[in-house]
């Protein structure tokens, strides 16, 4: 195997590159940012009484939008403020979505990383260092998340005004896909008896005696459902899911959840794997087989 040393390439000030160029690459393939399977909603999105947001990305499986600002060279105060300003405008205009501010720069210095970290305590803010490398004459972009969204301790549970009922989900998806939630509940109750479904606007969660405990939740679609299990990301769990044959979606880092699309056949075929994952999420010890 031939070894080739990667040489850093400065994009700022290079006549071959520009912020528009980098913006176009990310717009064409948002996975370059390493934030999961996002899709482009709009580039150069005009902001009321402000400038233009570089990119607005959305998660097709979550009610989450990402306001992305791009900068070549080291980050500065102006770009940090602009990123937060555009995030605030978008969340005020569209409060029905979760919003995440994303700052992309070639170099995020320790000084400004400290500043961004302070904002991160109150604002869902992601900082990504996007560097270019020359590998054997080929330009390669490398994205490193230097600051991720702080995991919310309360998760997304029990927001006021978000409660719905079963008929809401049947109308929104289908009776068959809502029934998948019943099958998931049956698995949950073999691990943690006494749980019930709790219908919310964006997902079907769990509750015991009316108190939410969403270590598992389901988002019904027309012909299937998205099953989410709250577990820390690990190589072992990721490898098990990848080898299972299930349609595994990107890991929801904001909420700490593994996500997969399932139907009744999947639940029957992968019952033991799902039980093991649910047991871990519920914090229940594995049964003693001795």
Token reading at 50: 């402000």
> Which segments of the chain does DSSP mark as H helices, in order?
19-28, 77-93, 110-120, 166-172, 175-191, 235-244, 264-269, 271-282
Sign of the torsion angle spanned by Cα atoms 129, 90, 228, 244 = negative
167-181 mean pLDDT: 94
Query: Of the given ranges (24-28, 90-94, 107-111, 168-172), which has the lowest mean pLDDT?
Result: 107-111
Q: Answer yes or no: is pLDDT of 120 > 60.
A: yes
Q: CB neighbours (10 Å) of residue 170?
A: 15
Per-residue model confidence as pLDDT tens digits over 241-254: 999 999 998 788 76
pLDDT of residue 286: 62
pLDDT of residue 145: 81
Mean pLDDT, the chain, integer: 85
Q: Answer yes or no: is pLDDT of 290 > 50.
A: no
Domains of the chain plus CATH, in order, are 7-147 (3.40.1350.10), 166-282 (3.90.1150.20)
**Residue of 226 and 116 predicted with greater confidence:** 226
Q: Answer yes or no: is pLDDT of 158 > 50.
A: no
CA angle, 50 then 54 then 55, to 5°: 120
Instruction: Return the bridge partners of 230, or none.
Output: 257
279-283 mean pLDDT: 91
**Residue of 98 and 195 predicted with greater confidence:** 195
* Residue found by looking up tokens 């402000």 in the block: 50
Residue 103 · residue 79 · CB < 8 Å: yes
Token reading at 259: 């996500």
Per-residue model confidence as pLDDT tens digits over 44-87: 999 888 789 999 999 887 778 999 999 888 888 888 889 989 99
DSSP reduced 3-state for 122: coil
Q: Which of 194, 264, 278 is nearest to 230 (CA)?
A: 278
Percent of the chain with pLDDT strictly greater than 70 = 91
pLDDT of residue 271: 95
């Amino acid at each position: 195997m031939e070894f080739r040393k990667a040489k850093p390439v400065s994009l700022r000030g290079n006549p071959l590159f520009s912020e528009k160029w980098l913006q176009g690459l990310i717009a064409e393939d948002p996975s370059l940012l390493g934030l999961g399977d996002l899709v482009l909603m709009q580039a150069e999105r005009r902001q009321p009484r402000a400038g233009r947001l570089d990119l607005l990305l959305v998660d097709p499986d979550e009610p989450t939008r990402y306001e992305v600002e791009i900068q070549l060279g080291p980050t500065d105060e102006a770009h940090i403020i602009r990123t937060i300003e555009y995030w605030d405008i978008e969340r005020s205009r569209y409060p029905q979505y979760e919003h995440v501010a994303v700052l992309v720069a070639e170099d995020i210095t320790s000084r400004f990383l400290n500043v961004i970290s302070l904002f991160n305590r109150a604002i869902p803010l992601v900082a990504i260092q996007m560097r270019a490398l020359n590998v054997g004459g080929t330009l390669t972009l490398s994205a490193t998340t230097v600051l991720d969204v702080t995991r919310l301790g309360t998760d997304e549970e029990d927001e006021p005004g978000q409660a719905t009922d079963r008929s809401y989900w049947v109308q929104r998806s289908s009776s068959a896909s809502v029934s998948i939630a019943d099958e998931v509940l049956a698995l949950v109750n073999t691990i943690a008896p006494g749980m019930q479904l709790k219908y919310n606007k964006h997902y079907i969660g769990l509750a015991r005696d009316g108190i939410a405990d969403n270590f598992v939740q389901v988002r019904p679609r027309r012909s299937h459902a998205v099953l989410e299990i709250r577990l820390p990301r690990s190589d072992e769990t990721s490898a098990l899911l990848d080898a299972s044959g299930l349609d595994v979606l990107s890991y929801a880092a904001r909420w700490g959840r593994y996500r997969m699309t399932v139907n009744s056949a999947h639940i029957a075929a992968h019952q033991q794997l799902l039980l093991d994952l649910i047991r871990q999420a519920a914090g229940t010890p594995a049964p003693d087989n001795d």
